[in-house]
Amino acid sequence: MKEEHFLVSTSPHIRSAEDIPKIMYAVIIALIPVAIASIYFFRLWAIKLMAVCIITAMGTEDIFQRLRKKDITVFDGSAIITGLLLAFILPPSLPLWAASLGTFFAIALGKQIFGGLGYNIFNPALLGRAFLMATFPVLMTTWTKPFSLDVVTSATPLAQMKFAQSFVSHQSLFLGNVSGSLGETSALAILIGASFLLIRKIIDWRIPAGYLGTVVLLSSIFWFIDPKGFADPLWHLLAGGLILGAFFMAPDMVTTPVTKRGRWVFGIGCGLILIVIRSWSGLPEGVMYSILLMNAITPLINRFTHPRIFGEQK
């Protein structure tokens, strides 16, 4: 009787030690430099906003999973990431109840209503911001200067370019000493976190490459044609939430195409929409809408970039 020595199991036979919490906590680690930068620039506001968003995100997830009698996965890190990312793309002086409402919306209607992690069509954090933008437009466009503890209204660099034709220096944009959303101001901090994710291969380099590449290409073409009316490519890269969006929002595993070609299409599409919005629309910034719009057509991209099966005849 040697039968028990033959172990029969179904595929997959090669297993990876990676699971959802591991990936999620790696992303959270990558977000730590951004969090430190935002606390450095916006002090108490940053701490409060991040705390409120994370707590609301986890609470909402817990309530919904209890109501729908699903496994409670509050500590797998995905809710923490949604809350943290949403805090990073909100204005620092936003009232905490509004941030809490937006986070509730992001988790409840952006994620849990579709069935939870893995089923959502749109990036929940961006959806939360879009909701807040349409709900409280005035609060969402009240920006503050870094290092100030009172609400000193000041336009973001992109708004200054759009409505006053004045440019902030590249250096301040790179370090983050400008007004803007909590976590988007410091390109340096975001790049430190993003390089960790790229080295660990948690995000696909194709999406940021397609996104940033398209923005650089298009903005340099327009800049060569009309250097006064358009900002230079480097400025476009550093201003606003582009780098944060390109590395932390756009390559979200759930809401992006699964094929390699599809990911290029996704990134390039985001870049195209971003440049169109930044250059010719009434809005100063377009990262949020560019990614949300491409999220919407992700199933379509998946269908059209379906790879050929080996040996298949055309």
Site residues, another protein (CB under 8 A): 67, 98, 109, 113, 131, 134-137, 139
The least distance separating another protein from the CB of residue 172, rounded to whole angstroms, comes to 32
Residue placing its CB nearer to another protein in the complex, 113 or 149: 113
Residue placing its CB nearer to another protein in the complex, 134 or 164: 134
Residue placing its CB nearer to another protein in the complex, 92 or 271: 92
The least distance separating another protein from the CB of residue 225, rounded to whole angstroms, comes to 37
The least distance separating another protein from the CB of residue 100, rounded to whole angstroms, comes to 13
The least distance separating another protein from the CB of residue 94, rounded to whole angstroms, comes to 11
Residue placing its CB nearer to another protein in the complex, 97 or 163: 97
Residue placing its CB nearer to another protein in the complex, 109 or 188: 109
Residue placing its CB nearer to another protein in the complex, 98 or 297: 98
Q: What is the 3-state secondary structure (H, E, C) of the chain?
A: CCHHHCCCCCCCCCCCCCCHHHHHHHHHHHHHHHHHHHHHHHHHHHHHHHHHHHHHHHHHHHHHHHHCCCCCCHHHCHHHHHHHHHHHCCCCCCCHHHHHHHHHHHHHCCCHHHCCCCCCCCCHHHHHHHHHHHHCHHHHCCCECCCCCCCCECCCHHHHHHHHCCCCCHHHHHHCCCCCCCCCCCHHHHHHHHHHHHHCCCCCCHHHHHHHHHHHHHHHHHHHHCCCCCCCHHHHHHCCCHHHHHHHHCCCCCCCCCCHHHHHHHHHHHHHHHHHHHHHCCCCCCHHHHHHHHHHCHHHHHHHCCCCCCCCCC
The least distance separating another protein from the CB of residue 183, rounded to whole angstroms, comes to 24
The least distance separating another protein from the CB of residue 109, rounded to whole angstroms, comes to 7
